[in-house]
Amino acid sequence: MDVLNTTCPNGVSIGVSQLLFTQLITTLMKSYCDLNPDYPVDQSTDVMANDQQFDFIVVGAGSAGATVAARLSEVPQWKVLLIEAGSDPPMESNIPGLYGTIFGSKYDWLYTTERTEKACRSMLNQQCRWPKGKMLGGSSSMNALYYGRGYPKDYDAWEALGNTGWAYRDVLKYFKKLEEIRTLGSVTDVHGYDGPISVEGYKDETVFKFGELRQKLLHAMQEMGYPYIHDMSAEMRSGITNCWTTTDNGIRDNVARAYLVPIKNRPNLVVMKETYVTKLLINDAKQVNGVEVNKNGIYKQITSTKEVVLSAGAVNTPQLMMLSGLGPKEHLTDLGIPVIEDLSVGYNLQDHIFVRLNNINLNTPQEPQQMQTDLLYNYLTRRTELSHLALDTHIYVDTLKKADDFPDVQLLFMAWSPANSKLPEFLKVMGTEPQQIQWAQQLNKDTYILEVTPTLLRPKSAGRVQLKSTNLLDPPKIFNGYLEDIDDIRTLVRGMRFIDELMTTKAFKNTTLHRPPVTECQKWQPPHEEYYECMVRNFVATVNHVSGSCKMGPKDDREAVVDPRLRVYRIKGLRVADTSIMPSIVSGNTNIPTIMIGEKAADMIKEDWQNEKVKDEF
């Protein structure tokens, strides 16, 4: 029935009920509008129809690209073009509780890594799926929303490799610049309070028994001798903490919403949507002076007078560079691409991985099922339930128990309700084999389960991005490199053992740990090392923190693609600003560090051009 076209009998009212009904509708409409921000308009038609020059062209409107474009356009005399392959994020992406629902849609690049025997064995065709955002905000419009910076030692290690200006003392000001912290217990001198990105704690601690689960974990960790940590950005060591999220009153605060919406009418910022950059325009002097784009099958060359900034991510950035003749000589030659500069583009590919389906049966009976309309109503009016993604607790642990206490494993948690569980759908979109989905669904049928995923914070293994063909629309070959280094296996095995130890605490005495039955693993049982290794190889999956494929490093680093000011070596007018420049992945979630990279890149570009310090230092 079409509700909007349905007539109802006239009622009699003294006015109060009509007023309340009007207020309710107004509240719902405002909440609905909050979920659909007014993003910058698409000006691609005008750009395609006219010859325009831009000072800067930024490729990719994700976590770094939107940041760079917004900050560069603060200079009124600079004309900035931001090009994005996707469109505006859908409303579903802005509701945290609907995380994962747009995986596999047109807003996802739909990447699948190459088949490997060493990992992803219980995935379809033994291939890992890599969800990546294809829309304004990039993956910040579809990630798990967790706020994290990594550790100071991560950035000090970058500096130790020869990357001057990237120590923690140097980047801290950019972390503070980007954030508006709204959480209790935050330490004032390490945070910012008026930046674009809103950071909150969870609003409703009663949702989905979170309070009860949090207390179980807190008591278990205390029993094991680990402290509660109020602010991981200030007190970085092993322990248990409540995670924070990049949300604004329970709405996803993606980078486009935070950086682009407030300046959508800025006249010197031009945004092209659903437009593919197919090639960098590089002249005989190895100077990048623009890009070639494809909009609905029509190609056009667009000129830049100062720089092109690549912020397309750790897969698309190396792909575009190689298609333009910047990359490994032998690989490009094999594909018939003229080599402009021999660079180690695509190497050093790193990612955080975790081990799925360590499920704790909480033996908690099913509660009455809530209607989806009730969930949505409660969210729209009070920001409950759907304003949350998962249990707001993280555990960091140094599994080697070294003196410097530098955690190497992070435990992430997903609490799944039997009433409204999205577990089967989520596992399916991640490419899990049907029999494992059925096992998890059966386990979750009548009781709450808590999925515990040990995450590898500093992988030693590395993969590679290669071209599959010379067509940009043909996805590249992604060799994930997972578990190539035996130390990565050993660390994750220690993470699995830590879960077993957690289960022996008094807090979890009435619960049961279940791991999926896998034929090749059942020849062993815990505590045999072979059992854990087999389970790790079967159930590792991406945490969607892909990085490192255009490594930053000094001149004498033969693997470096960009210098510490993010300029591509031996190529003028080209920088890279995204996760691909990380020489080593940070020990935590990568969205906030990527925004930091965008902030710092914009400042360096301003310094170079405003202070007339542009020199040929390559």
Contacts 24+ apart (CB under 8 A), 288-292: 288/571, 288/572, 288/573, 288/574, 289/573, 290/57, 291/57, 291/59, 291/83
Average pLDDT over residues 24-32: 78
Q: Which two tokens stand for residue 514?
A: 């279940």
277 annotated among ligand-binding-site residues: yes
pLDDT confidence tier of residue 615, bands split at 50, 70 and 90: very low
Evaluate if residue 425 carries a pLDDT over 80. yes
Residues in the chain: 618
pLDDT confidence tier of residue 11, bands split at 50, 70 and 90: low
pLDDT at 170 (0 to 100): 98
545 as an active site residue: the answer is yes
Q: Which two tokens stand for residue 495?
A: 């993470």
Nearest one of 261, 259, 269, 257 to 75, comparing CA atoms? 269
Cβ–Cβ under 8 Å, residues 371 and 219: no
Rounded CA gap, 83 and 537, in Å?
39
Average pLDDT over residues 392-410: 94
Residues 6 or more apart whose CB falls under 8 angstroms from that of 612 comprise none
Residues of the chain with pLDDT > 70, as a percent, come to 92
pLDDT at 453 (0 to 100): 96
Selecting among 191, 352, 388, 545, the annotated active-site residue is 545
pLDDT confidence tier of residue 2, bands split at 50, 70 and 90: very low
- Residue found by looking up tokens 């577990």 in the block: 423
Give the 3-state secondary structure of residue 339. coil
Evaluate if residue 388 carries a pLDDT over 90. no
pLDDT at 208 (0 to 100): 42
To the nearest 10°, the Cα dihedral for 308, 314, 317, 321? 120
Alpha helices per DSSP H over 265-336? 313-323, 329-334
**Predicted structure pTM score:** 0.94
